[in-house]
Amino acid sequence: MRSTREPDGAGTFTERARREQILACAVEAIAELGYGRASLAEIARRAGVSKGVVSYYFPGKDRLLEQVVADVYARAGAAVAEATTGRTGTAALRGYLEANLGFLAGHPAGIRAVTEIVMNLRGSDGAPRFTPTEADPVLAHLEQLLRDGQRAGEFRDFDARSMAVLLRGAIDTASGRLVTDPGFDLAAYTRELVGTAELATRRTP
């Protein structure tokens, strides 16, 4: 009889399913109730388990919330990778922007939950747990995409780091708008951002 334990040691398939269920319920609770009211007890209730079971998988609420953020970012990263792999220049940039903004449209609860967590979760010193750093892998990935387009001769000469910061800022602005503005037209925003980015990066004949 084959073992149900996964090769990477992540636990049995049943354990992994339970862990994913708890994460999904945490997203749901935070998106609906906000950071302050989404207690471990509420998350456990939605998952149909005890608080002890939640603690078995996630030692403390902070750890659970950190994993929610990591999980949503990982899912977004997979969508972006699928949209950009094998592409360069304009096609890669378009795929990157459309995949990021499309993920926002398809996962509103996840985006709302991440926004709540990033805005409110603090470290032991009281400082925000999530702050921009020089080693930001999300920003570094976009910067590399832009440099690849320059090396391929598809983009003009510009400061790739600054352009990456500008474009990531535009994506993050859309994320915030989705949470606070029910009338925000993400489809129109996506078209305009893609068009603006292409104009800003293209090599002039």
By the 8 A CB rule, do 45 and 28 touch? no
In a domain, 11, yes or no: no
> Cα–Cα–Cα angle for 132, 10, 111, nearest 5°?
35
By the 8 A CB rule, do 45 and 21 touch? no
* Cα(99)–Cα(193) distance, integer angstroms: 12
The per-type count for the chain, helices as H runs and strands as E runs, is 9, 0
pLDDT in tens, 116-153: 999 899 888 888 887 766 568 889 999 999 999 999 99
The neighbouring-strand residues paired with 155 are: 202
Predicted pLDDT at 135: 67
* Cα(120)–Cα(112) distance, integer angstroms: 12
In a domain, 48, yes or no: no
In a domain, 60, yes or no: no
Handedness of CA 150, 155, 157, 162 (dihedral sign): negative
The count of domains in the chain is 1
Predicted pLDDT at 91: 96
Q: Tokens at residue 166, please?
A: 């500008």
Per-position DSSP letters for 78-115, written without gaps between them: HHHHHHHTT--HHHHHHHHHHHHHHHHHH-HHHHHHHH
In a domain, 122, yes or no: yes
What is the extent of the structural domain holding 157? Answer: 65-201
In a domain, 29, yes or no: no
Q: What are the backbone dihedrals phi and psi of residue 123, each rounded to the nearest 5 degrees, phi first?
A: -80, 180
pTM for the predicted model, two decimal places = 0.83
* Cα(8)–Cα(125) distance, integer angstroms: 34
By the 8 A CB rule, do 143 and 164 touch? yes
Give me the amino acid identity at 113. A
* Cα(141)–Cα(177) distance, integer angstroms: 24
Predicted pLDDT at 9: 43
In a domain, 53, yes or no: no
At 73, which CATH number? Answer: 1.10.357.10
* Cα(161)–Cα(156) distance, integer angstroms: 14
In a domain, 189, yes or no: yes
How would you write the pLDDT of the chain (205 residues) with one tens digit per residue? 333 333 334 568 888 999 999 999 999 999 999 999 999 999 999 999 999 999 999 998 999 999 999 999 999 999 999 999 999 899 999 999 999 999 999 999 999 999 999 989 988 888 888 776 656 888 999 999 999 999 999 999 999 999 999 999 999 999 989 888 989 999 999 999 999 999 999 997 6
In a domain, 31, yes or no: no
